[in-house]
Each structure stands twice: as structure tokens, then as C-alpha cells.
Amino acid sequence: MSGRGNGATVSVIKAIEIQAAMTPGSVSLAQGIPSFDTPEFIKRRVREALDGGFVARYSLTPGMIELREAIAESLEHQGMAYDSRREIIVTVGSIEAITATLLATCGDGDEVIIATPSYVSYTQAVRLTGATPVFAPLSEESGWGVDVPAFLTLLNDRTKAIILCNPNNPTGTIFSKADLIAIADAAKRQNIVIILDEVYRDFLYDEDARRNYWSLASDPSYRDVVVRVFSFSKAFAMTGWRVGYLHTNRELAERILSVHDNLVTCAPVISQFAALAALEMKPSDWEPYLSEYRARRELVMKSLADMSPWLDFVKPSSSYFTFPRLKKENLKHYETSEELTKHLLQHEKVALVPGSAFGPSGEDHLRISFSRSRGDIIEGMKRLHRHFESHA
């Protein structure tokens, strides 16, 4: 059978989770799933909507107007102004927002620049459109920042979109305002859409991170090219609810809406009610969670420091991932990150994601998620350490 889906595969991350689920006694630090349950006040609002008979019907295709108004208000507090009726679309998670945007803007013969290492599914989504992913390596030497001159050399007449995840998955990097502006200025000149995935924007662990983080979407001069994507999955522990949103200028929103409509009709209404409640979360409600993630980050950093003969790492400023580099020279029998993670799952029963899943620059790295519980993190890191000690 032919079709665009022929080239698509289940992402490596999900494949590993499937394998881990079938491996008794395994600990997974692979997929980025918060260990927390969705907060009670969100669940309560959903119960009310469910009992009130409000969730059975389709919402408007771009999403419940009440939710879009709340999103618009939330954006205003972040220094971004978008029209709730025409410029905001509620989607089935951020990946649907990204895929719908790509389908609306790219096709056969086009190219999409993806920073690497970066989220696994971007490449697959690009291929679904018939476009070609072009990888722009991030610079590990500079803490996984963008090499702007090298990045800009990749832009040409075939480039239709750029995908930037900021803060970045898997590296936890926060891209600088200067770098973002340099890319955006070039994109604007060539009418290239920038898909800005900011799903980890709430995970800013220290003062430097909060000071350095800046969104391209907050500068109105880039409205014509920026599609910003956000998800309720991470900060609100709602990965299973499948709800996110995008916002962009009117014309682009209209094109994306047509694709969104034909893909899903609308985001699940029950999840939209959850999103509405989530938007009412105060900063003080989030602080305990952030504090716990910060503590988990320290746990992982300490473990990695103990594994310094075998791993180098950059402490992530954001997200809940770290992306250590394997010191191949000190590892017997090491071949590839994928082989290593297979071995780790089979023999040590710990699931991690191979760096190669995140693009060419990811090879010889591992992604470790600290979204899981402290118990899982401690045990998982212990098993990883045990492997290195026995294979050094």
C-alpha cells in the first residue's frame, strides 16, 4: 500500500515505553510523563462539566470560546496579544498543533529546519507532509545553544518552516533572545514560518533561567511568521488529556484551522474543560511542583556526577530531561546509543531513550527523564551506574 503514512514509524520513545511495559521489574526514565496526578481542582471542574452534561457535544472547531478567551488572557499576562476568536486554536496536544501547522504550510519538495538534538516526533511530522527535514546541529560546547551562522546557511528557497523547541527537549536549553531574533529576522525576510514549541516554558529552575527565557511570540513584529504552540500536558500533569493550543496571525490560523478541522473536528471537550481550569492555576499553585522537579533534577545531577568517568553532562536549565554524552573511550563494547539502551533495558531493566532518536547530533548521548518519581529516579540511576561499573 502507498501513502504518506508509509514513511512514519512509532517514535523511539514510545517504542521503548512499550518494551519497558513488557519487561517485568523495569524502571522507566524514558518517556516524559509527570509522576503527579492531574491536580484535584482541575478534576473537579471536569466532573462538574461532565455531570452538567456539557461535554457530550462537539465544541466549535477552534475550541470552546470560553477557553480561547482564557488562553488570550493568559497570553496577555505573558506579554502576548492574540485574538481569541480568530488567532487561537485549541488542539489535541501540541503535536497535533505542530502537525496541522506543517500540513498547512509544507508539502513535497519543501524543507523544514529542525534544530538537533530535538524532539523525536518533529522529524516524523515533517515527513508526513512530504517535506524533507534538514537538521541544524546545536552546539554542545556552548551548552547546546544555536550556532546561528551555521543555522542560517541552511535556509534556502525550499525552506518553508523552522521548528524550535524553547526550552529545548532533550537538552533543557533556553535559547537566547539574540539568537531567536537573528533566526526570526531571517525567517521574516524569506517568509518562513517559525513553529515555536514552548511546552516547557513553565520549567524555569533558577533566576538565570527566568531572566534568560524570552518568547519570540511576545514581539508583535514577528506575528506574520510565528506559530507558537503550548501544551497542558507537562506543567499540569495532563499528558493523557491530550489538549494544547497554538496561536498565530489570522491568515495562518485560518489555514491551519482547515487542516485541524479535517484531522480531529475539535479537541476533546472534556479536556478543554480541564484546560480551562488549568489556566486558573496561580503561580503559587505551581511552585510546589517546580520545587519538586528542581529536587529531582539535583538527584539526577548528583548521580551523573558519580558517573563522570563514563558520562559528561550539561545541567539543564529547564524541562525535565537531561542529555548526558557517553565517553565512548571509557566504555567497553559500546557501539551505538540505541544498542546501549536496548542492553540497559534487557539486562539492567532500566529504560532510557537513545540520543540518536533526537536527530544526528544526538548520537552517543542518552536522554534521562526526571519527570518520574524520586524512587524511580534513584533506582534507575543506580541501575545505570551498575551497568557502567561492570562495562568500563
Q: Residue 90: what are its φ and ψ, rounded to 5°? A: -85, 130
Instruction: Tell me the three cell numbers of residue 382.
Output: 543506580
Per-residue x/- track, 282-311, other proteins (CB under 8 A): x-----------------------------
| Of the residues 37, 66, 185, 306, which one makes contact with other proteins according to CB under 8 A | 66
Applying the rule CB under 8 A, the residues between 77 and 96 that interact with other proteins are 81-87
Q: Are 190 and 159 within 8 A, CB to CB? A: yes
What's the distance, CA 8 to chain centroid? Answer: 19
Please identify, using beta-carbon distances, which residue of 86 and 382 lies nearer to other proteins.
86
Applying the rule CB under 8 A, the residues between 144 and 203 that interact with other proteins are none
Applying the rule CB under 8 A, the residues between 233 and 272 that interact with other proteins are 269
Instruction: Tell me the three cell numbers of residue 171.
Output: 537538552
Residues in CB range of 245: below 8 A, 6 or more apart: 63, 68, 71, 88, 89, 90, 91, 97, 229, 230, 275
70 contacts other proteins (rule: CB under 8 A): yes
In whole angstroms, how close is the CB of 260 to other proteins at the nearest point?
A: 17
220 contacts other proteins (rule: CB under 8 A): yes
**Integer CA distances (angstroms), 31 to 14, 170, 337, in order:** 7, 11, 16
366 contacts other proteins (rule: CB under 8 A): no
| Of the residues 7, 21, 76, 339, which one makes contact with other proteins according to CB under 8 A | 76
Please identify, using beta-carbon distances, which residue of 44 and 328 lies nearer to other proteins.
44
In whole angstroms, how close is the CB of 190 to other proteins at the nearest point?
A: 18
CA distance 143 to 146: 9
| Of the residues 57, 149, 240, 333, which one makes contact with other proteins according to CB under 8 A | 57
- Partners of 133 in the β-ladder: 112
44 contacts other proteins (rule: CB under 8 A): yes
In whole angstroms, how close is the CB of 324 to other proteins at the nearest point?
A: 40
**Integer CA distances (angstroms), 163 to 131, 136, 138, 154, 166, in order:** 13, 10, 13, 13, 10
Please identify, using beta-carbon distances, which residue of 65 and 150 lies nearer to other proteins.
65
Residues in CB range of 146: below 8 A, 6 or more apart: 115, 136, 138, 139, 175, 176, 179, 183
Instruction: Tell me the three cell numbers of residue 319.
Output: 524541562
Please identify, using beta-carbon distances, which residue of 78 and 142 lies nearer to other proteins.
78
- List contacts with other proteins (CB under 8 A): 40-41, 44, 49, 52-55, 57, 59-60, 64-66, 69-70, 72-73, 76, 81-87, 220-221, 223-224, 269, 276, 280, 282
